[in-house]
Chain A
Amino acid sequence: MTYTVSARGVRKSFGGKVVLDGVDLDVATGIIFALLGPNGAGKTTLIRILATLIRPDAGTVTVAGHDLLADPIAVKRAISLTGQYAAVDEMLTGEENLRMMARLLHFAPRAAKARSAELLAEFGLLDARARLVKTYSGGMRRRLDLAISMIARPRLLFLDEPTTGLDPRSREQLWGTVRGLADQGVTVLLTTQYLEEADQLADRIAMLDHGRIVARGTADQLKSSLGGEVVRLHFADGGGYQRALGALTILRADQRLRTIEVGTDGSAASVHDLLGTLRTAGAPASRLSVGRPSLDDVFRSLTGGTR
């Protein structure tokens, strides 16, 4: 297996605050890899380090076969970054943005024009090419941003929260675009705080919390690591709910609805044991349902998310 990104022991602190606390990461060539975590987990910092924008305090990183610290210029040539805020010039038209970036990537003027025309068509922006970007919708800006990222046909594309702030339709459209890029052989490393996004898009997922990777694998592996099923219990009165909270290892609880969710391996025996525990604790459940866990459940169980 070849890896486009291989990072070992990456650390970064800002003013004494540890943001990345020894991150190891391997991204296989040609896949979509999602870095999943809540705000402040260190996702953006990690992406910015891998994209040569900031230097790590410690650690070794290879990107597209080049050592990040020894040869950042070679890394820059192999990658493209699309940040959290669309990095486009609002006072230029879509086409001017593309041609400017192509010229900065040292395309000759005529080649820059041709490549821009291809990308405008590919990303559905032909009709809007002569309009100033400040008149574009959020989804159009992101598409232009992605189109710019693809000018030099990078081997590795970083997408930092690519769909934050987009409406559901634009989000799905963008997912389709990202899948299309992966089909062309581009390795994609994206960050997201949406579990659904990682579930929908990513071949592999790493969960980042407080600067550490707390889990990694495919979406299915992560879900089954929780146990096969999630049991959702409902309690008729507050006393039973409180006693059950004390007796169980819970995934999630809702005081107002008096519901508690617990992970199990999905066997009938485990559910039987669970009910036994509740009876012993004097906290019989009034209703019970069983379902597949979501990535959300995995995330909550790993980050102590009973809040």
Chain B
Amino acid sequence: MTASYALALSDTQVMITRCVRRSLRDPEAFFTALMLPVVLMLLFVYVFGGAINTGHGGYADYVVPGLIVLCAGFGAGTTAVAVATDMSSGIVDRFRSMPIRGSAILSGHIVASLARNLLATALVIAVGLGVGWRPDANPARWAAAAAMIVLFILAMSWLAAAFGLLLRSPEAANAATFVLMFLPYVSTAFVPAHTMPAVLRPIAANQPFTAVIETMRGLWMGDTSTGAAVSHEAWLAIACCTGILVASFAAASWLFRHRTAA
């Protein structure tokens, strides 16, 4: 039993190395993924920020959590394309004809996705600090925010993997994850919900991205833009992310077994 776990772990490790190498060797996608946080931060703080009054001090103080989520949506696109590309190439057949667990193959993609997204998040934070973001949080709150980010990225990555397996073609997978890139705009990522028209307000205030964003905002800045307590937003965010994670994990595992078997 122990030996078989060690082997599964070694398989996963090999797959992670493979996916990380592939990420590093796709310079265009990699460059875009790193440029995106920087450009968006500068754009939102210096171009739009002056015209947006959030009632929460400087715009940099408001927008950082929103940009982290926006970049994760972009990262999900990359992951969905990577999984779909793998599924449409002959190499998965070879993996499957070898004595390896299917979960190792998907885990490689998920861990590489986590690594890419954490790098993008670190860039958002670094550039944010450079343009005037002044979080007011103790180490425990920083750790809680980091945990929120990891949980969120994992949920997005498994969701993206499920999209990639479901749609198979890299183009279709990319198109599907566009939803994840646009949903943050109809959340409290860039402007507070109460500034939106009545139709959008309930959507923006209650969608899962908002809970995730407000949790980070509350942990870093002390209060949320919705007026709800941080703990309330946090439980909501954890529930949403865990739900998405479990459902996507189950869907991806099922799809992997059935899609590659046809």
Q: What is A's interface to B at a CB cutoff of 8 Å? A: 14, 51-55, 73, 76-77, 79-81, 83-89, 91-92, 96, 100-101, 103-106, 132, 148
Contact = CB atoms under 8 A, between A and B. Distances in A.
A81 B99 contact: no
B97 interface: yes
B91 A88 contact: yes
Q: Output the residue of B11, B97, B99 with the most chain A CB within 10 A.
A: B97
Contacts of B254: none
B97 A52 contact: yes
Contact of A106 (B10, B22, B97, B262): B10
Q: Which 3 A-B pairs have the closest CB atoms?
A: A87-B90, A87-B94, A85-B90
A89 B90 contact: no
A85 B94 contact: no
Q: Output the residue of B18, B25, B26, B91 with the most chain A CB within 10 A.
A: B91
B25 A77 contact: no
Interface string B84-115: 00000111011111111000000000000000
B129 to A, nearest CB: 34
Interface string B224-262: 000000000000000000000000000000000000111
A76 B90 contact: no
6 contacts: A53-B96, A53-B261, A76-B97, A76-B98, A91-B25, A92-B21
Interface of B: 7, 10-11, 14, 17-18, 21-22, 25-26, 89-91, 93-100, 260-262
Contacts of A87: 89-91, 93-94
Given A51-B97, A89-B18, 17 more contacts: A52-B97, A53-B96, A53-B260, A54-B261, A76-B97, A76-B99, A80-B97, A83-B94, A85-B90, A87-B89, A87-B91, A89-B91, A92-B21, A96-B21, A103-B14, A104-B95, A148-B94
A91 B90 contact: no
Contact of B97 (A14, A81, A86, A92): A81
Nearest to B98: A104
Given A73-B99, A132-B25, A83 B90 contact: yes
Contacts of A84: 90
Given A76-B97, A81-B93, A89 B22 contact: yes
Given A54-B261, A105-B98, A106-B7, A100 B18 contact: yes
A132 B11 CA distance: 22
Given A51-B97, A73-B99, A83-B93, A100 B261 contact: no
Contacts of B97: 51-53, 76, 79-81
Contacts of A52: 97
A84 B90 CA distance: 8
A91 B98 contact: no
Contacts of A92: 18, 21-22
B258 to A, nearest CB: 11
